[in-house]
């Protein structure tokens, strides 16, 4: 499997476009991260935080906007050397100290502890797009907690496995066989698999492969998470008052989206981003856990 840092090194030069409001309608890919950041800022504002640490800050676009919109102290880290290099340039262009962003591998426990000792604790810690690339969920939440004051806010983004109940493709098949029927005997799973192969588009979505000099997202460790199971991990690490925030809405299952006018489809996606109901658990390919450290 390709290295996570290789993927993000390759995507670093254009990563900022995901947060550019001028590209909401022109980018080919739906700007889900733009709407995610808007929601994160609203949460932080409502909780009146005065300091924020971001794990996995990429080229610093999100943390710069948080600092400017909320007038809060910020620090951050990222795995990718190229993201850190461009992030420091980005900070400097915006009149901020480039040393606010450091390179830290979340899987290097000694390095994480050293970083936490160096920077101290904050009112909020956020991790957007990081836990899919980490094998040990409990360690990752523990690491987030190191940067957080008691009573502080955790915002943890994850790829939502429940979305597969709406995709009717190979992801649906994988969820049913690997998760829903995890404790069912092989003869029953075989029967279900044969039936699903007739009912679902099991050849979709196509797996993304190497693009130019960098591995694609599907070629690195990029796990989905069951929101209920991940919530249990967060609670076990000493957090309470958990809630979910959903984003990246899909008004149809993905395989028929191409048959709808793309402008109208995107307009409907954007309108759905205001939906705070239970529907997001199934219509959204990503979510966030918001919790308070005891």
The CATH code of the domain that includes 117 is: 3.40.50.150
Please say whether the beta carbons of 127 and 157 come within 8 A. Answer: yes
Are 64 and 187 in a shared domain? no
Q: What range defines the domain where residue 218 resides?
A: 4-165+209-293
Domain boundary among 151, 177, 204: 204
Domain boundary among 152, 177, 204: 204
Q: How many domains does the chain have?
A: 2
Are 24 and 52 in a shared domain? yes
Are 180 and 231 in a shared domain? no
The dihedral built from the CA positions of residue 38, 44, 48 and 52, taken in this order, carries a sign that is negative
Please say whether the beta carbons of 40 and 126 come within 8 A. Answer: yes
Are 132 and 266 in a shared domain? yes
Give every residue of the chain whose pLDDT is below 50, as ranges: 1
CB atoms closer than 10 angstroms to residue 92 = 13
Of 100, 37, 46, nearest in space to 73 by CA:
100
Are 184 and 145 in a shared domain? no
> For 172-217, what is each residue's pLDDT tens digit?
999 999 999 999 999 999 999 999 999 999 999 888 777 667 788 8
Distance, CA of 38 to CA of 105 (rounded, Å): 26
Are 39 and 20 in a shared domain? yes
Distance, CA of 120 to CA of 123 (rounded, Å): 11
Supply the pLDDT for residue 30. Answer: 95
Is pTM beyond 0.75 here? yes
Are 34 and 115 in a shared domain? yes
Q: Which residues pair with 155 in a beta bridge?
A: 126, 290
Please say whether the beta carbons of 54 and 128 come within 8 A. Answer: yes
Of 44, 5, 72, 18, nearest in space to 286 by CA:
18
Domain boundary among 204, 223, 252: 204
Supply the pLDDT for residue 212. Answer: 62
Are 222 and 125 in a shared domain? yes
Supply the pLDDT for residue 90. Answer: 98
């Amino acid at each position: 499997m390709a290295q996570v840092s290789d993927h993000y090194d390759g995507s670093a030069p254009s990563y900022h476009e995901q947060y550019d409001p001028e590209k909401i309608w022109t980018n080919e890919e739906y700007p889900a991260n733009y709407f995610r950041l808007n929601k994160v800022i609203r949460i932080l504002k409502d909780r009146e935080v005065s300091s924020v640490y971001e794990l996995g800050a990429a080229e610093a676009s999100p943390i710069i906007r948080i600092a400017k919109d909320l007038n809060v102290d910020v620090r951050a880290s990222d795995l990718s050397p190229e993201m850190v290099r461009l992030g420091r340039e980005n900070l400097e262009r915006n009149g901020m100290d480039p040393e606010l962003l450091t390179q830290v591998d979340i899987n290097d426990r000694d390095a994480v502890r050293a970083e936490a000792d160096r920077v101290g604790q904050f009112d909020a810690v956020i991790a957007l797009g990081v836990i899919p690339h980490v094998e040990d969920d409990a360690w990752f939440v523990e690491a987030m907690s190191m940067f957080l004051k008691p009573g502080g806010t955790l915002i943890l983004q994850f790829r939502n496995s429940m979305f597969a109940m709406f995709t009717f493709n190979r992801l649906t098949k994988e969820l049913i066989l690997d998760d829903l029927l995890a404790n069912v005997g092989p003869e029953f799973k075989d029967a279900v698999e044969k039936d699903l192969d007739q009912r679902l588009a099991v050849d979709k979505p196509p797996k993304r492969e190497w693009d130019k000099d960098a591995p694609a997202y599907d070629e690195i460790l990029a796990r989905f998470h069951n929101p209920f199971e991940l919530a249990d991990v967060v609670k076990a690490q000493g957090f309470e008052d958990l809630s979910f925030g959903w984003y990246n809405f899909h008004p149809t299952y993905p395989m028929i989206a191409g048959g709808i006018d793309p402008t109208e489809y995107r307009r409907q996606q954007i309108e759905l981003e205001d939906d705070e109901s239970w529907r997001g658990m199934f219509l959204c390919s990503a979510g966030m856990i918001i919790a308070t450290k005891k």
